[in-house]
């Protein structure tokens, strides 16, 4: 199941995504008169490289606005990157054509956060799950009902719901439908973007268990995006921590939670409430994630970092190896 | 208990009379909160925790109605109180913080306009004095440069800052009771931690009684003094936070605690509660948790009572766990 020569199944190299808000007519006219207005540019993802091995679960964590969903969408080929490459099984996706491009597109699927917004309310379950495999010729028309039934059973739903519409289901069941839709095209890699955060607590455990079961049975690889560190700790083999469009730390899960290296990871872990700390004194990190429109100079975390020094304001720390399999982007690592 | 609790809810029943039948969103709920204490109201969506909060503030709209019970706020029953008296209390002596701060904020008015209006609705003070108070309160909840930020509009704040503004508005009159309905659910953990730290400071410094409605047991552990766990409109377990989290007695509480990832072996299937919460319009006969419960038997076809022991610990179950440690 791995890529050629045992390389990663999926890899992104130096991927960046910039969102540009073009100037409107009034601003362009003002510029003609010498106002000097500039377009607003957001670096949602800024030069990220990562690799996911076949069968692995890579957790992607960070606060809202850090670019983790944008990166997930680039990986799932929903958004084209502004620069950089996405490689699947060692081959650049944009360079593929015809049947190969289609196969690569089907192999990577995505499951979205909001099960109320990600399903077409006017389509029946049978069509939501069955449309893509039919259109791509994976299943002949006469066999589609049986195929859909199999997939529904696989995600723990009763096949007799085939003729129902999304609004007739609860949040947890809709999320199962979203999973069924992704599985219907027999993917190898699934980008899961906060797939359980919209669900009730008792349902979260059920859906998380489903993810683990499917991974085992179908040999799936996940990019698991979540802001819930407890969930990521449970399911991921490796974790990537993002802050303002960049990776600040990358590490095997156990090592990350045992001894986080980057000050941001440390702050994030310290902020998570746990069952065993009672009536604790919350000692919050100062400030908020800065606006990506106007990111701080140097290390983006320096305005909130308790260890910030002059160098952090001037120079962006590169992501470097601090231990086998562990990377961290902090000047403190230079000793 | 020597002093009168800030709030005592007794056998509250809030029902919704819909075309499809009567939904008993809150059905016989009792609890009390004292000065400076935090009560967590825990449960999943549809269990009636928000409706309980709305009932206390007199915000239940038709087809919903409080059909029974008493809500004693500093000893006075709020249920029969006329609307004007309620309005005088709401926002002054008691306030609510919602999950979505835009429930509190008007998107087309500046923060200053909204806060000054909120001050002057309950206090006869000059515009200038009201503005000063707004400014102080914004500073108290940790908004930098409050003078400047007063002139801003809600959309110019981030989600976390907006929630702080909503909290500041709730605090303007230093209320004796604040009901917070999942105020940090939509926020990032670092911001959540900031807001929780503010909430703790308030209780400590101003003696505000706080009802914190949430589904997150980890937040409950870090913040609350007492916990009431709700299921299908009723309280199923109640007690001190350590008691309930360390020795849960109701199978539902145990199930919720058992499904928290940190209570499980990494990578192994999580202990999960089967099935899903029943619709309030079609509750099963007897104990509403019966169909999801591993301990249920024929006895559970009847409704168990909330049985309270001498230490104030209460559980509504025919087959409660006895003194066993949490899963």
Looking at the DSSP bridge assignments, the partners of residue B47 are: none
Residue B52, pLDDT above cutoff 90 = yes
B252 with B241: CB under 8 angstroms? no
Average pLDDT on A296-316 reads 91
Of the spans A235-239, B216-220, B268-272, which averages the highest pLDDT? A235-239
Average pLDDT on B298-310 reads 92
Which tens digit of pLDDT belongs to each residue from B176-215? 999 999 888 777 888 788 888 888 888 888 889 999 999 8
Give this prediction's pTM.
0.87
Question: What is d(CA A221, CA A215) in angstroms, rounded to the nearest whole number?
Answer: 7
Q: Report chain A's C-alpha Rg in angstroms.
A: 22
| Closest CA relative to residue B28, chosen from B45, B14, B16 | B14
A192 with A228: CB under 8 angstroms? no
Per-residue pLDDT, B143: 83
Of the spans A39-43, A96-100, A197-201, B104-108, which averages the highest pLDDT? B104-108
Please give the order of strands across the beta sheet that includes B64-73.
B21-33, B7-18, B64-73, B76-77
Per-residue pLDDT, A335: 66
Per-residue pLDDT, A136: 92
Looking at the DSSP bridge assignments, the partners of residue B27 are: B13
CA A263, distance to chain mean position in Å, is 22
Per-residue pLDDT, B45: 84
> Residue A2 — very low, low, confident or very high, per pLDDT cuts 50/70/90?
very low
Question: Percent of chain A at pLDDT above 70?
Answer: 97
> Residue A1 — very low, low, confident or very high, per pLDDT cuts 50/70/90?
very low
Question: What is d(CA A154, CA B77) in angstroms, rounded to the nearest whole number?
Answer: 54
Delineate the domains of chain B, giving CATH numbers in brackets: 1-84+208-289+302-327 (3.40.50.300)
* Angle at which helices B251-258 and A201-218 cross, to 10°: 50
Looking at the DSSP bridge assignments, the partners of residue A192 are: A111, A224
**Domain at A4-236, CATH from 3.40.50.300, 3.40.630.30, 1.10.3720.10, 3.30.390.30:** 3.40.50.300
B contact test, residue of A57, A200, A262, A301 with most B CBs within 10 A: A200
Residue B167, pLDDT above cutoff 60 = yes
Per-residue pLDDT, B278: 85
**Lowest mean per-residue pLDDT among A233-237, A276-280, A326-330, B270-274:** A276-280
Question: What is d(CA B297, CA B283) in angstroms, rounded to the nearest whole number?
Answer: 17
Higher pLDDT pick, B18 / A284:
B18
| DSSP states along B18-80 | ETTEEEEEEEEEEEEE-TT-EEEEE--TTSSHHHHHHHHTT-PPTTEEEEEEEEEETTEE-TT
In chain A, which residues have their Cβ closer than 8 Å to the Cβ of B192? 271, 273
Give residues 256 to 295 of B whose Cβ lies within 8 Å of A: 256-257, 259-264, 266-267, 269-273, 276-277
Per-residue pLDDT, B1: 46
Residue A145, pLDDT above cutoff 80 = yes
Question: Percent of chain B at pLDDT above 90?
Answer: 66
Question: What is d(CA A148, CA A145) in angstroms, rounded to the nearest whole number?
Answer: 5
> Residue A23 — very low, low, confident or very high, per pLDDT cuts 50/70/90?
confident
CA distance readout (Å), A27 to A109, A293, A318? 40, 18, 37
Question: What is d(CA A155, CA A178) in angstroms, rounded to the nearest whole number?
Answer: 10
- What phi and psi values does residue A118 have, to the nearest 5 degrees? -95, 0
Average pLDDT on A231-250 reads 94
Q: Distance (Å) from the C-alpha of residue A130 to the closest C-alpha of chain B?
A: 26
Contact A202 B277 (CB under 8 A): yes
Question: What is d(CA A79, CA A63) in angstroms, rounded to the nearest whole number?
Answer: 20
Per-residue pLDDT, A3: 45
> Residue A5 — very low, low, confident or very high, per pLDDT cuts 50/70/90?
low
Per-residue pLDDT, A149: 94
Contact A230 B260 (CB under 8 A): yes
Higher pLDDT pick, B167 / A65:
B167
CA distance readout (Å), A151 to A169, A177, A179? 17, 9, 9
Question: How wide is the angle at C-alpha B281 spanned by C-alphas B275 and B286, nearest 5°?
Answer: 65
Contact A230 B241 (CB under 8 A): no
Q: Report chain B's mean pLDDT, rounded to a whole number.
A: 90
Per-residue pLDDT, B2: 57
Per-domain residue ranges for chain A?
4-236, 249-274+284-335
Give residues 147 to 186 of B whose Cβ lies within 8 Å of A: 158-161
Average pLDDT on A188-211 reads 89
Q: Is the interface score ipTM higher than 0.85?
A: no
Question: What is d(CA A4, CA A19) in angstroms, rounded to the nearest whole number?
Answer: 34
Upper half-sphere CA count for residue A78 (Cβ side, 13 Å)? 14
Q: Which residue of A has its CA nearest to B188?
A: A63
**Cβ of A97: how many Cβ atoms within 10 Å?**
8
């Amino acid at each position: 199941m791995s890529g050629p020569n045992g390389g990663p199944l999926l890899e992104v190299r130096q991927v960046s995504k910039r969102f540009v808000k073009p100037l409107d007519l009034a601003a362009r006219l003002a510029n003609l008169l010498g106002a000097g207005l500039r377009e607003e540019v957001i670096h949602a993802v800024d030069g990220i490289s990562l690799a996911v091995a076949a069968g692995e679960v890579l957790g992607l964590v960070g606060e809202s606005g850090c670019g983790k969903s944008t990166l997930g969408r680039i990986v799932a080929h929903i958004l084209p990157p502004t620069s950089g490459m996405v490689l699947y099984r060692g081959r650049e996706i944009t360079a593929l054509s015809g049947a190969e491009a289609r196969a690569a597109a089907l192999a990577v699927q995505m499951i979205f956060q909001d099960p109320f917004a990600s399903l077409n309310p006017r389509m029946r379950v049978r069509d939501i799950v069955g449309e893509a495999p039919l259109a791509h010729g994976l299943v002949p028309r006469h066999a589609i009902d049986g195929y859909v039934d199999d997939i529904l059973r696989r995600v723990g739903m009763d096949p007799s719901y085939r003729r129902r519409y999304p609004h007739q289901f609860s949040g947890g069941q809709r999320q199962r439908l979203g999973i069924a839709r992704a599985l219907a095209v027999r993917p190898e890699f699934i980008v899961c973007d906060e797939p359980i955060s919209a669900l009730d607590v008792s349902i979260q455990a059920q859906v998380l268990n489903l993810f683990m079961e499917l991974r085992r049975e179908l040999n799936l690889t996940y990019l698991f995006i979540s802001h819930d560190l407890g969930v990521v700790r449970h399911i991921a083999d490796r974790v990537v921590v993002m802050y303002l469009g960049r990776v600040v730390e990358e590490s095997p899960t156990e090592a990350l939670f045992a001894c986080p290296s980057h000050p941001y990871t440390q702050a994030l872990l310290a902020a998570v409430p746990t069952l065993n700390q009672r009536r604790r004194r919350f000692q919050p990190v100062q400030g908020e994630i800065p606006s990506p429109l106007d990111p701080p100079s140097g290390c983006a975390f320096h305005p909130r970092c308790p260890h910030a020094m002059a160098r952090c304001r001037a120079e962006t720390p590169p992501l470097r190896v601090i231990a086998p399999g562990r990377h961290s982007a902090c000047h403190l690592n230079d000793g | 208990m020597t002093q009168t609790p800030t709030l005592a809810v007794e056998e509250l029943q809030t029902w919704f009379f819909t075309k499809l039948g009567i939904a008993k969103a809150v059905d016989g709920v009792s609890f009390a909160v004292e000065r400076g204490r935090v009560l967590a109201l825990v449960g999943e969506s549809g269990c009636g925790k928000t409706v309980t909060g709305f009932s206390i503030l007199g915000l239940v709209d038709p087809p919903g109605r409080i059909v029974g019970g008493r809500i004693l706020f500093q000893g006075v029953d709020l249920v029969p109180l006329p609307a004007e008296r309620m309005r005088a209390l709401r926002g002054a002596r008691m306030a609510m913080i919602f999950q979505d701060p835009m429930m509190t904020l008007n998107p087309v008015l500046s923060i200053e306009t909204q806060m000054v209006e909120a001050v002057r609705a309950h206090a006869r003070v000059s515009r200038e004095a009201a503005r000063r108070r707004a400014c102080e309160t914004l500073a108290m909840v940790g908004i930098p440069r409050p003078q400047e930020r007063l002139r801003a509009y809600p959309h110019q704040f981030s989600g976390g800052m907006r929630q702080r503004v909503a909290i500041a508005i709730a605090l303007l009159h230093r209320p004796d009771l604040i009901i917070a309905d999942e105020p940090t659910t939509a926020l990032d953990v670092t911001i959540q931690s900031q807001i929780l730290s503010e909430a703790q400071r308030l209780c400590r410094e101003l003696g505000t009684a706080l009802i914190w409605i949430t589904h997150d047991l980890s937040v409950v552990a870090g913040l609350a003094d007492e916990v009431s766990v709700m299921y299908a409109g009723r309280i199923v377990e109640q007690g001190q936070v350590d008691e309930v989290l360390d020795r849960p007695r109701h199978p539902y509480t145990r199930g919720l605690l058992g499904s928290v990832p940190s209570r499980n072996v990494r990578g192994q299937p999580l202990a999960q509660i089967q099935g899903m919460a029943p619709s309030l319009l079609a509750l099963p006969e007897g104990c509403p948790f019966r169909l999801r419960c591993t301990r249920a038997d024929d006895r559970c076809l009847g409704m168990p009572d909330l049985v309270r022991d001498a230490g104030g610990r209460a559980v509504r179950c025919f087959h409660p766990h006895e003194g066993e440690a949490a899963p």
